Amino acid sequence: MRVPQPIGYVRLQESLDELGETSADVALLFWILAILFFGLGDTVSSFMVFSQDGNEPNPIMRWSLGLLPDGLLGFVLVKTAAISILYAIAFLWEGAHRWMIPIVLILAGVYLTTNNMLVFLDIR
């Protein structure tokens, strides 16, 4: 015979389930923003700088530009691999700490995109 759970326990469990759903929604939002800023924003703004004979200071990304005949494809492949690996790490990481990776990517993406645009517009 199953012992009924107290009402407080049931409500707590329901609240925790709702929190888990909300947490997943927030994590998804962070990953979308990370892909927009770090993935798309930095890539597009980097190639805007390259179009004006700018250079890539990051040695790994500079190497990726010569990886394939079309520099853009190598650049995008390396950036996609980096984001995919970081997503896998965040997915396997338990708890609220998994939000740290997309948040850091958002901050890096905003910084890199802003920096690239300042260079492109010759403001810096």
Which two structure tokens, joined as six digits, stand for 113? Answer: 């995109």
Residue 16 domain-assigned?
no
Can you give the C-alpha Rg of the chain in angstroms?
Answer: 21
Helix/strand/coil for 16: helix
Residue 13 domain-assigned?
no
pLDDT at 123 over 80: no
Q: Which residue's structure tokens are 């901050």?
A: 107
How confident is the model over 39-81, as pLDDT tens digits? 999 999 999 999 898 888 989 898 888 888 778 899 999 999 9
Q: pTM for the whole thing? A: 0.77
How confident is the model over 17-39, as pLDDT tens digits? 665 566 677 888 999 999 999 99
Can you tell me the distance from the alpha carbon of 77 to that of 75, in angstroms, rounded to the nearest whole number?
6
Provide the pLDDT for residue 46: 94
Residue 23 CB contacts under 8 Å (≥ 6 apart), including other chains: 96
Q: Which of 44, 27, 41 is nearest to 107 (CA)?
A: 41
Calculate mean pLDDT across residues 98-111.
93
pLDDT at 9 over 90: no
pLDDT at 4 over 80: no
Provide the pLDDT for residue 99: 83
Residue 32 domain-assigned?
yes
Range of the domain at 60: 27-120
Residue 64 domain-assigned?
yes
- Structurally, how many domains does the chain consist of? 1
Provide the pLDDT for residue 27: 82
Residue 100 domain-assigned?
yes
Q: Which of 112, 90, 92 is nearest to 39 (CA)?
A: 112
Residue 12 domain-assigned?
no
Helix/strand/coil for 53: coil
The values of phi and psi at residue 6, to 5°, are -65, 150
For the chain, the first-to-last Cα distance in angstroms comes to: 74
Which two structure tokens, joined as six digits, stand for 106? Answer: 């958002």
